[in-house]
Structures are given as structure tokens and as C-alpha cells.
Amino acid sequence: MIQLLSVAIVAGLFFESNQQTAKVPDLVYLLKPGCWTEWFDRDDPSGTGDWETLFELFKEYPGKICSNPSDIEARTPFGLTAAEAGDVIYVSDATNGLVCRNQDQPNDKMCNDYRVRFSCPPSFCEVCWTKWFDRDDPSGTGDWEGAIDLSTENPGQICANPLSIEAVTTDTLTPATSTGQTFFIYNPADGFVCRNTDQTYGACRDYKVRFGCPCT
């Protein structure tokens, strides 16, 4: 009787363990291998739909997405795929991004809000950052943190072909993309330029930049 009871307990624990293991695949999307970008959510579906296009994401998040992504993943804020959320998706690929149009949804339903991320070559994630550089102030025509000028003024401190660039304000360290200002140049090859004439209100804030270089 004791042996039978022991066998039953072990069998029960084994069954319970298998039941717990069976739930793991539901979370696999969080652990996908490879080099994935951060999540981006630039639009809400309150207008014509949710437009997370790669073209607009490139402009709004310079240096954050590789030039030729190999895959895209889209999720609602609650982690649902479009199929699970019941939405009809107009476009969802690594070339164009994601577009969910309200007009395509049945029963006058509105699209869910989506965020997207992209799969890039492993080298895109292997970035070593330079120190921060602040060579100019916006008291003249604007804040000019050009890559050529910075490389000339700081020889040997910036790689020849940076992979990415970041710009933040010098006072509050606010990311440039969160300030609401317009930028004339913002890419790793040319650097960062904010012109006072491009701003709707006031002058450019003072920014500092750093570059992401290949790790050697």
C-alpha cells in the first residue's frame, strides 16, 4: 500500500510538472532569439487606424532600427497578436511595418493599438557607445553637433562608420525625440543638427550626442 501511494504521489507530481511545462510556449514570443529592437508605438487607432510604418519610425526614432530588418513582430499593449485580437491587418512586414485600418474591421469595429519591433542582424545590437559630445550651443543659428566636426575636434574618439546615434538635452538629459523639436539632421553618418529657424516656438535646446560604434 505504501509503495502504491508513493507511486501515485510521484506520478501526480510528474503530471503537475508536465502541466506547468505545457504553459511555457505561451511566453515564447518574449524570448525569441536574435537581435530585436525595442518596441515602438508611434500612432493610435483613433483616426483612420494604427499606422506603425517603417518609413515614419525611421524618422521618429533615428538610429534605433537597422536599415533592412528581416522580421517584424506586433503586439497590443496586452501582448495579443492581431489574430488573437481579432483585427484585419492591411500590412505587416519587415519592409513596410504595420498598418491596421479601421475601415477593414468588421461590424464598424476600431483597430486595437499596436506596438512593433524589428529583427536586425546580430551586429546591430553589438554596440559600444562613445562618451557624450557637446561642441555647440544654440545661441547662434542652432545646435550643430556634426559628425565631421566632432571627429575632427576629437581625433580617434569616434569610429569611422558609427552604427547609431543618440542625442539628449544637456540640462535634463531628455531624449531629443521627446522634446517635440524639429531636427534638420539626426543620423549616425552626419551627426545631429537642430536649427532655430525650424522650431515652431523659441530656439533649439542645447543637446549633446554620442555614437554607437562596432565593438572591437
How many Cβ atoms from other residues are within 10 Å of residue 45's Cβ? 18
* Domain membership of residue 72 as a residue range: 30-125
Instruction: Answer whether residue 24 is part of any domain.
Output: no
What phi and psi values does residue 26 have, to the nearest 5 degrees?
-65, -20
Q: Which residue has the cell 510528474?
A: 14
Instruction: Answer whether residue 13 is part of any domain.
Output: no
Question: Based on the domain organization, do 99 and 140 belong to the same domain?
Answer: no
CB-based contacts of 53, cutoff 8 Å, min separation 6: 96, 97, 98, 99
Instruction: Answer whether residue 51 is part of any domain.
Output: yes
Q: Within 38-153, where are the H helices?
A: 54-60, 82-85, 122-125, 147-153
Lookup: cell for 197: 529657424
Question: Based on the domain organization, do 114 and 67 belong to the same domain?
Answer: yes
Question: Based on the domain organization, do 105 and 115 belong to the same domain?
Answer: yes
Alpha-carbon gap, residue 212 to 175, rounded angstroms: 15
Instruction: Answer whether residue 22 is part of any domain.
Output: no
Question: Based on the domain organization, do 111 and 131 belong to the same domain?
Answer: no
80, HSE (Cβ side, Cα atoms, 13 Å): 11
Question: Based on the domain organization, do 165 and 207 belong to the same domain?
Answer: yes
pTM: 0.54
Which of 107, 125, 143 terminates a domain? The answer is 125
Instruction: Answer whether residue 200 is part of any domain.
Output: yes
166, HSE (Cβ side, Cα atoms, 13 Å): 15
Alpha-carbon gap, residue 199 to 182, rounded angstroms: 6
Domain count for the chain: 2
Instruction: Answer whether residue 100 is part of any domain.
Output: yes
Per-residue confidence in pLDDT tens, the chain, 216 aa: 334 334 333 344 333 333 333 332 222 233 334 589 889 999 999 999 999 999 999 988 887 898 899 999 999 988 899 999 999 999 999 999 999 999 999 998 999 999 999 999 887 888 899 999 999 999 999 999 999 999 999 999 999 988 889 999 999 999 998 999 999 999 888 999 999 999 999 999 999 999 998 887
Distances (CA, A) of 178 to 41, 167, 171, 189, 205: 13, 10, 14, 22, 12
